Every structure is written in C-alpha cells, then in structure tokens.
C-alpha cells in the first residue's frame, strides 16, 4: 500500500520581503526519490528547510509520517535528516566523535562497531582520529552523510549532496539512497547535476520564483512536450525548454496519487 510520507499543504515562505515559496501543495509517497530542481533563487533551499522544520513557514502545513515540526518537534527531528550544501561539522572534533555526538544529539543508541563499519565503507576509517578541519571537501560531505545515515531516518533532504565527491563517491551515494528508498525511506534531492537527478530520481518537482512549474513522475516528464507526443526527452532539455509561466503540471499517476 502506498503511504504519503510527506504531505505539504499551501506552503508559503517569505525570505525577507520576498515571497520565496508560493502556495506549494504536494504529497510524496514512502520509497520515492524526488528531484527538486530550479534556477538559482527558485525557492529550493527555502522549501527544503521548511520541510526539515528549520524555518517557520508564513503559511501552510507540513506533515512527515504523521508528525509536524511545530507540534512534534523532537520526534519530528528523529525522522528527518537534512544535509545542507555545506557540511555542518565541528572543525576540531574527530571523525569518530562526530558519529558519537550525532547519535546522542538525536537520542539514538550509539553502536561503536556499526559506526566503524560506516567509516570503513565510506573510506573514512583511516581518518577516524583526525579533526574535521583536516578533511577534504568530499570527505567532509561523506562524514556529514554518515552522521545522518547511522540513525536510519525516514526522510532524507539533501541539498547538492554530490559536491566534492569523486565518481566512486557519487555512485556509492546513489546506491545507498536507492537502498534506503527500497526500505521505505523518502528522499528529496536538490542538485544542478541534472543527469544524476534523472538517473536517480523517480519523481520531479521543478520550481521557478517560488512557484511549481512541474510536479510528477520522471516518466511523465520524459513524455511531455508542447503537443503531448512521446519524444522521450531528457531532463536537461526539459529544464531549458519547459515554460515557466504556465500553471503547474501534476502527473495523474505521479507522487502521492
């Protein structure tokens, strides 16, 4: 049975005096991987922060697995993993102590053996006693992801997660996200790497100046053009040619249906 892990109703957010997100309503099923794309300033980061409960929306409601960031703050955060585009780490804290700290911060039992296995898998074992300040950009990205992954969240929200990763790291991250989606987790990814988004994501949400330009399955995107004919178009072509001033398009068999 399909379960809507995320329900967003009439979400609006201001960034200063600018309306960054305008009346967004979507539902996203468990096991979905949603690609969130748009030009710079389209409202992607604001949307992700609102879903993660990090900012208070001006209007609207957000529910994740039946929990809301306002009424169920502690339980809500244990279900949600948010990774910003710049890893949020403690410069002088060691790699291993990061895992211990994040487990404690999210009220999770710390498993030393499991944490060491994570570090081994992600190529961080040899750096386990090194402070985060001595890690490369890619290693910091991996560490930030491991800190969240070890607590098995039900919702991953990832802002430009592939930045700094080498091809092997990108492939490893893609495989790990797919594995978690198969287990029922819901994943939201914002990235300018459109080829990676197309390869990984099952669904697409496209924003422009805070408004929905397209919302539906990746399959629907591939089949959509001005005349409704099958042209099997690529996401990059769709991004550059899809009209931004039309009403939002929702695939009839898409997310949340």
Annotate 99-126 with DSSP letters as a single string. HHHHHHHTT----HHHHHHHHHHTT-GG
pLDDT at 195 over 50: yes
Q: How many domains does the chain have?
A: 2
Residue 26: strand pairing partners: 8
Regarding whether 137 and 11 lie in a shared domain, the answer is no
- CA–CA distance, 37 with 234 (Å, rounded to integer): 14
Asked if pLDDT for residue 61 goes beyond 50, the answer is yes
Predicted pLDDT at 225: 60
Q: What angle do CA 196, 202, 207 make, to 5 degrees?
A: 75
Domain shared by 241 and 133, yes or no: no
**16: pLDDT confidence band, cut at 50, 70 and 90?**
confident
**Integer angstrom CA distances of residue 49 from 69, 71, 141:** 11, 17, 18
Q: Give residue for tokens 């990676």.
A: 196
For 37, the token pair is 């794309």
- % helix, strand, coil for the chain, step of 5: 35, 25, 40
Residue 106's pLDDT is what?
85
Domain contains 79: no
Helix or strand run (H / E) with residue 37: strand 33-38
The CA distance from 48 to 247, in Å, is 22
- Using CA atoms, how far apart are residues 210 and 115, in angstroms rounded to an integer? 39
User: Do 119 and 160 belong to one domain?
Assistant: no
Confidence category of residue 245, pLDDT binned at 50, 70, 90: very low
In a domain, 51, yes or no: yes
> Are residues 200 and 169 both part of a single domain?
yes
User: Widest CA span of the chain, in angstroms?
Assistant: 59
- The predicted-structure confidence for 96-148, as pLDDT tens digits, reads as follows 999 999 999 888 888 899 899 989 999 999 999 999 999 999 999 999 999 99
Q: What is the pLDDT of residues 158-176, one digit of tens each?
A: 999 999 999 999 999 999 9
Integer Cα distance of 64 and 49 in angstroms:
13
> What is the average pLDDT across 195-203?
94
Are residues 39 and 18 part of one domain? yes
CA dist., res. 187 & res. 201, Å (int): 9
pLDDT greater than 60 at residue 3: no
Q: How confident is the model at residue 72 (pLDDT cuts 50, 70, 90)?
A: confident
Same domain, 111 and 166: no
The pLDDT of residue 238 is above 90: no
Q: Model pTM greater than 0.95?
A: no
Shared domain check, 56 and 35: yes
Q: How confident is the model at residue 5 (pLDDT cuts 50, 70, 90)?
A: confident
């Amino acid at each position: 049975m399909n379960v809507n892990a995320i329900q967003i109703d009439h979400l609006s957010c201001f960034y200063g005096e600018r309306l960054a997100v305008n009346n967004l309503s979507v539902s996203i099923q468990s096991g979905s991987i949603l690609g969130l794309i748009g030009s710079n300033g389209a409202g992607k980061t604001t949307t992700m922060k609102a879903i993660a409960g990090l900012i208070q929306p001006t209007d609207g409601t957000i529910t994740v697995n039946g929990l809301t960031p306002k009424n169920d703050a502690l339980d809500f955060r244990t279900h949600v993993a948010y990774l910003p585009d710049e890893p949020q780490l403690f410069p002088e804290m060691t790699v291993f102590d990061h895992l211990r700290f994040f487990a404690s911060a999210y009220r999770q039992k710390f498993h030393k053996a499991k944490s060491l296995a994570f570090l081994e898998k992600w190529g961080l074992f040899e750096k386990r006693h090194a402070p985060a300040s001595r890690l490369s950009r890619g290693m910091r990205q991996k560490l930030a992801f491991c800190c969240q992954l070890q607590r098995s969240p039900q919702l991953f929200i990832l802002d430009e997660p592939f930045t700094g990763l080498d091809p092997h790291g990108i492939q490893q991250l893609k495989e790990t996200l797919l594995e978690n989606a198969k287990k029922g987790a819901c994943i939201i990814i914002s990235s300018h790497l459109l080829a990676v988004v197309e390869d990984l994501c099952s669904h697409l949400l496209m924003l422009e100046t805070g408004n929905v330009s397209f919302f539906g399955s990746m399959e629907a995107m591939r089949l959509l053009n001005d005349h409704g004919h099958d042209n099997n178009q690529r996401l990059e072509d769709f991004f550059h040619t899809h009209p931004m001033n039309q009403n939002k398009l929702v695939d009839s068999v898409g997310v949340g249906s």
